[in-house]
Amino acid sequence: KWLVVMCGAVATLAIAFGSSAYTAAIPGIMAHFGVSITAATAGVAVFVLGFAIGPLFWAPLGELFGRQIWFWTTYAAVTIFAWAAGYTDSFAALIVLCFLGGATGASVLSNAGGVISDVMNEKERGLGLAFFSFAPFMGPVLGPICGGFEAMAVGWRWVLYTIAIFTGVVLVLGAVVVPETYGPALLAKRAAALSDYTGLHFVRASKRPQKSAAQLFKIALSRPWQLLFLEPITLAVCLYQAIIYGTLYMLFGAFPVVYRR
């Protein structure tokens, strides 16, 4: 259980690390592409914008098809996008890749907490979530520090390559260590395995009322919006977190301005 929790925490830390490490590459990006600091800082903005948009899709899809497939498929995409961002010679492509990296990396942010709830009982869950919540805040702290030294030593591209290497290592580790944890997905797999083994048709009870794929997607993808706008406490917590994260990343974006002048 704790190994799964640690993998989820490290996976989240890597994404949060990548979101702030980019700020260390801003001076190099400005010099290489000949853009203003405002344009260069847009990479941070679109990465975090991806954090806002991604969970609206990845969390519901994780409940439809299981957490593991989306967790590691999107994590592989983050690795590819980070490496491509470091390799590209187009500033527009860099910004697009930052957004795609944030949007796909958000799958980890939205599903990792669910994985912890799946593997831990009520008594253990509080400690597990407390340990996990350390990662999203430690990642942005480490990003500018590590990225700053790296940008000075080997250049801005290696800041992005390091993000790709970090996420790639976590991807391999997690793919080996972390199994599927979502109960309904496990039951569906068990029913399919029994059907193949016995020749009989097994189906889990919650799947008996058949719905079309379009109906399932509509229900799953509309649920986050319903919770956001119809549940006042959800809206209040989201606004609070938006202010906290907005302030945090505003300060990250200000670092290059402050220390260059």
Least confident of 68-72, 166-170, 234-238: 68-72
AA identity, residue 55 = P
- Residue 30 tokens read as 């400005």
Per the model's pLDDT, the better-predicted residue between 114 and 192 turns out to be 114
Lowest mean pLDDT among 16-30, 54-68, 151-165: 54-68
Find which of 5-9, 73-77, 188-192, 212-216 is predicted with most confidence, using mean pLDDT. Answer: 73-77
Average model confidence (pLDDT) across the chain:
80
Confidence band (pLDDT; 50, 70, 90) for 72? confident
- Asked whether the predicted pLDDT for residue 43 surpasses 80, the reply is yes
What is the Cβ-side half-sphere exposure of residue 72, based on CA atoms within 13 angstroms? 18
pLDDT at 120 over 60: yes
In tens, the pLDDT along 207-248 reads: 445 566 677 677 767 777 788 888 889 889 888 888 888 887
The pTM score is 0.79
All structural domains of the chain with their residue ranges: 2-260
The two tokens of residue 182 are: 């979502």
CA distance 32 to 26: 10
User: 2-260 falls under which CATH superfamily?
Assistant: MFS general substrate transporter like domains (1.20.1250.20)
End-to-end CA distance of the chain: 48
**Mean pLDDT (whole number) for 52-61:** 77
What does the CA dihedral 81, 83, 84, 87 come to, rounded to 10 degrees? 160
**24-53 mean pLDDT:** 87
Hey, CA dihedral for 16, 17, 22, 27, is it positive or negative?
positive
Backbone angles phi, psi at 155, to 5 degrees: 105, 165
8-state DSSP, 105: H
What pLDDT does residue 208 have?
47
Residue 202: strand, helix, or coil: coil
